[in-house]
């Protein structure tokens, strides 16, 4: 550190009081983008392009890992026996349908219908004795698999769909979800139409959406439900469960003897489109995908089954959909949030597939004169896609034909309660037991990771923390220090100013104590009070720990981490989160699904993560300042600041000469408040403070 830097004119006369020694003018907060309105699902979410094939492989893996992280499936839970059952076969013209159930977790049943070719249809699509298979998640149509427009005898509605060209046949118009399964079976495919939570036969969770509920909030093992702090600390959610059900549905299909595991496709619309692109992103076994009226740069999915903590930080639906590339991908748009797909999102997909040399494997269709749908027009696009990429060998165009409607009574898996297995439970008891099973699997991986070799630790724990923290010291770009005030004493110079990180639009208030006999080491001192924790009463009176370091010839750097000190209009106020709901409206009931934390944490970093980023910015400033010749950087954390130190140290491995915490009593698990400033979704799943400490070894 060159002395010339400190020979600037002093800006003080006499001793300054603590509340006067500022980095910014009184009443001014940092010019920091993180103080702006949080990102929501309704904002613009553009695709993030890459420059090369090699870059895409890295980007694709990152998208996949983030989706698995958000799902609570990184690493995957143990795949327990499916205990699958197929029964109740019905034979119709060109297809057969069976009732199916299997256990994705012990005691949690996925219910479905399995469609298969019959008669002449059975001769189609067979390659070396194997036939392709298609998964069909249904989305948010009333009753899902049992959907029926004609349910209330509204024949005019069905006829209206036919009249405007959305449908050709009466029965397909009644239930377009069923229609595509019938047609795909007639085209030579196995088709699994499985229930999403809270629909049709999947009644173990009676409600499809989940909000915070006092009765499901407990710190006791086996007593908490979804949307509770303890579930969120372990990334347990209905989105994650639904994604796991989809993965296990692939397990079920590939377990059928004559299914060709190299010709697997998934297709769905709306919420089923979300599951389509999510499953295709995380499961390498999927060979082609056709998500309808879902991928876009606009609204990202309204339901809690489409949102999860961390899911869309640094990525959106177009990125997630693209994660299948260069495998075949098709999609449709309608007069809904996908209406601008042709100009926003689609050109990026065309460019990506072109760069990958797979131009013919991507297609999109823009039938925006229709409202939100998976109608006959969209299905016809999909049939041509399936015919080509599943190698069915049918003459084009493949056209749908009518079928006899399958009633809920015919295809229901559970006709009566007595049909259900002995271990079938529903309601809060099932929710609690499922979370206990999931948590036990995670805890086993935590213990294995903490006690196992480094490879196991990296896979089970460290990878999760790196995705949560998502910024390493090596990622931090150019930062600078802007001097505001100085005060000189006989033994040190105190300087306030801001650490500016223009690329991320971040600005961090800082305080530096520079000893008169500086020896080249900078100690970053972390305090619950921010930079005000470095001194008592006046800046000329550093606290004992800081004073001792200065006497040893070490410079001490303190910062107001995000929502500390000068970040707050009232320095005495507590850090807090903005209110974010699905609709963006305020005053929504406390237990509403619209208040799920996924609508904030799914798009924005936690306060904790932002504070770790600030520590990294401080380290980068000390390391790279053109007037500072730093030989060593250390971290020192006061009590209850150790989690920031260990997290920053983990993301700056090899750059610190030492890390010292005055206490190690902090535990994320002890925080039972979704909106506490130290709350971190997934922190317990990935080993709490113990894992962060080990990452520093």
Q: pLDDT tens digits for 590-629? A: 999 999 999 999 999 999 999 999 999 999 999 999 988 9
> CA-to-CA distance for 559 and 507, rounded, in angstroms?
11
Select from 529, 498, 508 the least CA-distant residue to 19. 529
Select from 280, 300, 223, 236 the least CA-distant residue to 47. 300
> CA-to-CA distance for 426 and 596, rounded, in angstroms?
22
In the numeric block, the tokens 């520093």 are attached to: 696
Confirm if 520 and 630 have CB atoms less than 8 A apart.
Answer: yes
Confirm if 526 and 541 have CB atoms less than 8 A apart.
Answer: no
What average pLDDT score do residues 525-531 get? 97
Classify 268 in phi/psi space as left (phi over 0), alpha (psi -120 to 50) or beta. beta
User: How many CB atoms neighbour CB 368 within 10 A?
Assistant: 16
Compute CA 106 distance to the chain's CA centroid, rounded to the nearest angstrom: 25
Residues 647-666, buried b or exposed e (16+ Cβ, 10 A)? bbbbbbeebbeebebeeeeb
CA atoms within 13 A on the CB side of 67: 30
> CA-to-CA distance for 562 and 568, rounded, in angstroms?
9
Percent composition of the chain: helix, strand, coil (DSSP 3-state, to 5): 35, 20, 45
User: How many CB atoms neighbour CB 603 within 10 A?
Assistant: 23
Q: pLDDT tens digits for 237-250? A: 999 999 999 999 99
The yes-or-no answer to whether 54-442 and 469-695 have a common fold is yes
CA distances to 175, 305, 378, 557 from 403, in Å: 11, 31, 18, 74
Q: pLDDT tens digits for 203-236? A: 999 888 989 999 999 999 999 999 999 999 999 9
DSSP 3-state of 677: coil
- 151 pLDDT higher than 80: no
Q: Look up residue 455 and give its two tokens.
A: 């490879």
Q: pLDDT tens digits for 463-495? A: 999 999 999 999 999 999 999 999 999 999 999
Residue 114's DSSP bridge partners are 98, 192
Residue 8 is predicted with a pLDDT of 31
- 272 pLDDT higher than 80: yes
Residue 531 is predicted with a pLDDT of 96
> CA-to-CA distance for 253 and 177, rounded, in angstroms?
19
CA distances to 489, 524, 545, 557 from 554, in Å: 15, 10, 12, 10
> CA-to-CA distance for 14 and 540, rounded, in angstroms?
10
Residue 12 is predicted with a pLDDT of 35
Residue 110's DSSP bridge partners are 102
Q: How confident is the model at residue 15 (pLDDT cuts 50, 70, 90)?
A: very low
Q: How confident is the model at residue 574 (pLDDT cuts 50, 70, 90)?
A: confident
Residue 523's DSSP bridge partners are 556, 634
Q: Look up residue 265 and give its two tokens.
A: 């496709």
Q: Look up residue 695 and give its two tokens.
A: 């990452």
Select from 510, 613, 603, 501 the least CA-distant residue to 565. 510
Q: pLDDT tens digits for 69-111? A: 999 999 999 999 999 999 999 999 999 999 999 999 999 999 9
Residue 20 is predicted with a pLDDT of 65
What average pLDDT score do residues 296-320 get? 97
Q: pLDDT tens digits for 184-195? A: 999 999 999 999
**pTM score:** 0.95
Residue 16 is predicted with a pLDDT of 39
- Proportion of the chain above pLDDT 90, given as a percent: 91
In the numeric block, the tokens 């999860």 are attached to: 308
- 6 pLDDT higher than 80: no
Give residue limits of the domains in the chain: 54-442, 469-695
Q: Backbone phi, then psi, for 531, in 5-degree steps?
A: -70, -20
Q: Is 42 exposed, middle or buried (0-12, 13-18, 19+ CB in 10 A)?
A: middle
Q: Look up residue 89 and give its two tokens.
A: 């076969």
Residue 1 is predicted with a pLDDT of 29
Q: pLDDT tens digits for 373-432? A: 999 999 999 999 999 999 999 999 999 999 999 999 999 999 888 899 999 999 999 999
End-to-end CA distance of the chain: 29
- 3 pLDDT higher than 80: no
DSSP 3-state of 33: helix
> CA-to-CA distance for 402 and 670, rounded, in angstroms?
59
- 259 pLDDT higher than 60: yes
User: How many CB atoms neighbour CB 468 within 10 A?
Assistant: 25
- 153 pLDDT higher than 80: no
In the numeric block, the tokens 């993030």 are attached to: 48
> CA-to-CA distance for 248 and 286, rounded, in angstroms?
13
Select from 332, 320, 330, 329 the least CA-distant residue to 373. 332
- 269 pLDDT higher than 50: yes
Q: Is the dihedral of CA 538, 540, 542, 546 positive or negative?
A: positive
> CA-to-CA distance for 153 and 203, rounded, in angstroms?
25
- Proportion of the chain above pLDDT 70, given as a percent: 97
> CA-to-CA distance for 140 and 273, rounded, in angstroms?
10
User: How does the average pLDDT of the chain come out, rounded?
Assistant: 94
Are β-strands 506-515 and 555-559 bridged in parallel, bridged antiparallel, or unpaired? antiparallel
Residue 616 is predicted with a pLDDT of 98
Confirm if 115 and 193 have CB atoms less than 8 A apart.
Answer: yes
> CA-to-CA distance for 219 and 231, rounded, in angstroms?
10
Residue 573 is predicted with a pLDDT of 84
Q: Does domain 469-695 correspond to CATH entry 1.10.287?
A: no
DSSP 3-state of 353: helix
CA distances to 14, 283, 583 from 639, in Å: 32, 43, 39
What residues contact 634, with CB distance under 8 A and at least 6 apart?
A: 521, 522, 523, 524, 554, 656, 657, 658, 659, 660
Select from 130, 242, 138 the least CA-distant residue to 180. 138
Confirm if 664 and 631 have CB atoms less than 8 A apart.
Answer: no
Interhelix angle 376-389/176-186, rounded to 10 degrees, is: 30
- 18 pLDDT higher than 60: no
Q: Is 4 exposed, middle or buried (0-12, 13-18, 19+ CB in 10 A)?
A: exposed
Confirm if 348 and 376 have CB atoms less than 8 A apart.
Answer: no
> CA-to-CA distance for 614 and 527, rounded, in angstroms?
13
Q: Look up residue 562 and give its two tokens.
A: 């995000």
Confirm if 380 and 330 have CB atoms less than 8 A apart.
Answer: no
CATH architecture of the domain with range 54-442: 3-Layer(aba) Sandwich (3.40)
């Amino acid at each position: 550190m060159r002395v010339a830097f400190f020979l600037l004119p002093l800006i003080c006369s006499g001793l300054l009081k603590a509340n006067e020694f500022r980095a910014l003018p009184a009443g001014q907060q940092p010019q920091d983008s993180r103080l702006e309105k949080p990102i929501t699902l309704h904002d613009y979410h553009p695709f993030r392009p890459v420059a090369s094939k090699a870059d895409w492989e890295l980007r694709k893996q990152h998208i996949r890992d983030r989706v698995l992280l958000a799902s609570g499936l990184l690493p995957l839970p143990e795949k327990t026996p499916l205990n699958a059952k197929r029964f109740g076969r019905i034979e119709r013209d060109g297809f057969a349908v069976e009732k199916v159930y299997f256990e994705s977790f012990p005691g949690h049943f996925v219910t479905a219908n399995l469609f298969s070719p019959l008669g002449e249809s059975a001769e189609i699509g067979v390659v070396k004795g194997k036939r392709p298979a298609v998964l069909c998640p249904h989305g948010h149509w009333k009753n899902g698999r049992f959907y029926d427009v004609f349910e209330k005898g509204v024949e005019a509605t069905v006829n209206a769909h036919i009249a405007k060209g959305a449908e050709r046949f009466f029965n397909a118009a009644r239930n377009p979800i069923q229609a595509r399964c019938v047609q795909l079976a007639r085209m030579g495919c196995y088709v699994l139409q499985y229930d999403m939570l809270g629909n049709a036969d999947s009644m173990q969770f009676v409600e499809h959406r989940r909000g915070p509920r006092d009765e499901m909030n407990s710190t006791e093992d086996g007593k908490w439900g979804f949307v509770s702090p303890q579930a969120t600390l372990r990334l347990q959610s209905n989105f994650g469960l639904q994604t796991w059900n989809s993965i296990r549905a692939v397990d079920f299909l590939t377990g059928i003897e004559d299914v060709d595991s190299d010709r697997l496709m998934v297709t769905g619309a709306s919420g089923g489109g979300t599951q389509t692109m999510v499953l295709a992103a995380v499961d390498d076994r999927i060979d082609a995908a056709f998500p309808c009226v879902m991928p876009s740069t606009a609204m990202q999915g309204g339901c809690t089954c489409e949102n999860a903590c961390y899911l869309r930080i640094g990525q959106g639906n177009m990125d997630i959909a693209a994660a299948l590339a260069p495998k075949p991908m098709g999609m449709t748009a309608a007069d809904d949030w996908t209406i601008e797909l042709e100009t926003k999102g689609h050109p990026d997909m065309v460019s990506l597939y072109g760069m990958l040399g797979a131009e013919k494997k991507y297609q999109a269709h823009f039938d925006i004169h229709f409202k939100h749908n998976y109608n006959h027009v969209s299905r016809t696009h999909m049939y041509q896609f399936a015919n080509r990429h599943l190698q069915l060998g049918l003459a084009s165009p493949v056209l749908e034909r009518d079928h006899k409607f399958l009633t809920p009574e015919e295809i229901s898996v559970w006709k009566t309660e007595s049909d259900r297995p002995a271990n079938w439970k529903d309601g809060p008891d099932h929710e609690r037991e499922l979370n206990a099973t999931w948590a036990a699997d995670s805890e086993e991986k935590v213990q294995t990771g903490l006690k196992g070799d480094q490879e196991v630790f990296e896979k089970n724990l460290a990878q999760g923390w790196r995705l949560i923290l998502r910024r390493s010291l090596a990622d931090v770009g150019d930062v600078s220090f802007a001097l505001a005030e100085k005060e000189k004493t006989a033994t040190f110079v105190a300087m306030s100013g801001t650490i500016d990180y223009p690329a991320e639009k971040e600005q961090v208030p800082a305080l530096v104590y520079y000893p008169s006999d500086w020896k080249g080491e900078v100690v970053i001192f972390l305090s619950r009070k921010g930079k005000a924790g470095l001194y008592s009463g006046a800046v000329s009176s550093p606290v004992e720990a800081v004073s001792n370091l200065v006497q040893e010839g070490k410079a001490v750097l303190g910062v107001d981490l995000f929502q500390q000190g000068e970040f707050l209009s009232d320095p005495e106020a507590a850090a807090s989160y903005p209110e974010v709901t699905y609709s963006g409206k305020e005053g929504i009931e406390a237990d509403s699904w619209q208040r799920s934390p996924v609508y904030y944490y799914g798009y924005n970093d936690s306060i904790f993560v932002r504070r770790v980023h600030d520590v990294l910015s401080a380290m980068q400033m000390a390391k790279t300042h053109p007037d500072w010749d730093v030989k060593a950087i250390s971290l020192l954390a006061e009590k209850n600041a150790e989690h920031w130190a260990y997290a920053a140290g983990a993301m700056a491995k090899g750059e610190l000469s030492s890390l010292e915490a005055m206490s190690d009593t902090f535990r994320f698990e002890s925080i039972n408040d979704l909106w506490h400033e130290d709350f971190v979704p997934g922190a317990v799943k990935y080993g709490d403070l113990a894992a962060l400490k080990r990452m520093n070894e």
